[in-house]
Amino acid sequence: MKNIVILGSTGTIGQNTLEVIRKGRDRFNVIGLACRENKDLLARQIREFRPEYVYFEKVDTVFERRFPRVKILCGDKGLEKIASLKKADIIICAIPGISTLKAVCSAIRSKKVIGLATKEILVVAGHIINRLSRKYGACILPVDSEHNAVFQALEGIKKEDVKKIYLTASGGPFGGRPAGKNATLKDVLKHPVWKMGKKITVDSATMMNKAFEIIEAHYLFGLPAEKIGVLIHPEAFIHGMVELNDGTIKGVFSSPDMKFPINFVLDYPRRKETPWRPIDFSSMKKLTFSSADRNSAWFSLAAEAIEKNGSLPVVLNAANEEAVNLFLQGKIKFNGIIDIVQKAVRSHRIKKHVSLEDIFEIDRRAKNKVRELVRTKL
């Protein structure tokens, strides 16, 4: 029986993880659930999965009294504690942004298996996460479907035999192309394939999600940007591929359903029977691919962040997060997101070496900068 903690249990990935656990009660046990404030759903999850520990952001004594048998944790330290519980085998990290950065480090120091959905952690602190994982022998398994597919395709392959990897992109609501000036929030949130949280859905529409995935792949697989290709593949049946020196390409197919990569992570390294249906090739009408434009703004931002590194990826992530927030609040237009991110990146003086504490400070300043840029333009 594997003991599992889910950071972000009320979110899209969190709920998909609980669905996988629901269908695998003989092998998975929930011992910790964490969310920010969605107490109604959290309460239902507690009643169904009976975790020993629960985390939410702010102290709530009324809620605590409703569940006297559950140990309730709050605040930053609480998140670190739930991510490193002695009994925990796997920590699923699915909270957007960098608020779980210290908690992930704490899970690494406790030698947990970490199912990492939160790509932002690797974007801003890939070098720290990799160094710590090597030091403590922790295992990071990617939940992001593209990286999960590449991880699977790389199993049994020597790094020097890899020529290139490919991440696929459904292209979001605008097919991977820049949207018209008048794209509304409703248009942007209408993702044709994946049902995801709002932040990542907006990132899919701007293609910044793919920019972050390139940086994520760089840290997970130790490859430079030139060896990471992106293919627009609207059907979203192939999630990631590895091209080998001999010309062979290995890829991973599954329906566009996050339960596949989540199940892979929870059962790793075994392959147990599941109720998720494999693709029926006979009913597949077509599979289409086109190369993403390497000269597009999002691709250049990712390549620059990898090349210059230091504090730049932190600014890229923070500026984008703030710009997306402002878009979601109706304060900027959709097309303004990439413009603002580019401006914030261009005006940043790179700090070469960044510590964990620096990251939070740089993140805070970059978000202020974005707000200032928007204010002055208005």
Ligand X SMILES: NC(=O)c1ccc[n+]([C@@H]2O[C@H](COP(=O)([O-])OP(=O)(O)OC[C@H]3O[C@@H](n4cnc5c(N)ncnc54)[C@H](OP(=O)(O)O)[C@@H]3O)[C@@H](O)[C@H]2O)c1
Binding residues (CB under 6 A) for ligand X: these are: 8-14, 34-38, 57, 94-96, 99, 117-120, 144, 194, 196-197, 200, 258
The distance of closest approach from Cβ of residue 158 to ligand X in the complex, given in angstroms and rounded to an integer, is: 28
DSSP for 72-127, please give it: EE-HHHHHHHHTT-TT-SEEEE--SSSTTHHHHHHHHHTT-EEEE--HHHHHHHHH
Which is nearer to ligand X, 35 or 373 (by Cβ)? 35
Find the shortest distance in angstroms from Cβ 191 to ligand X: 9
Judged on CB neighbours under 10 Å (0-12, 13-18, 19+), 360 is: middle
How far is it, in rounded angstroms, from Cα 97 to Cα 129?
15
- Quote the least distance from Cβ 160 to ligand X, whole Å: 29
Task: Using CB positions, name the residue nearest to ligand X.
Answer: 11
Cβ distance to ligand X smaller for residue 63 or 194: 194
Q: Which is nearer to ligand X, 171 or 373 (CB)?
A: 171
Dihedral of CA atoms 239, 245, 247, 250 in degrees, nearest 10, equals -30
CA distance 250 to 38: 41
Q: Quick check: 354 and 362 in contact, CB under 8 A?
A: yes
* Closer residue to ligand X, CB minimum distance, 95 or 149: 95
Q: How far is the CB of 194 from ligand X (least distance, A)?
A: 5
**At closest approach, how far in Å is the CB of 119 from ligand X?**
5
Comparing CB distances to ligand X, the nearer of 136 and 194 is 194
Min CB(209)–ligand X separation in Å: 7
For ligand X, the closer of residues 128 and 208 by Cβ is 208
Six-digit token pair at 272?
Answer: 């147990």
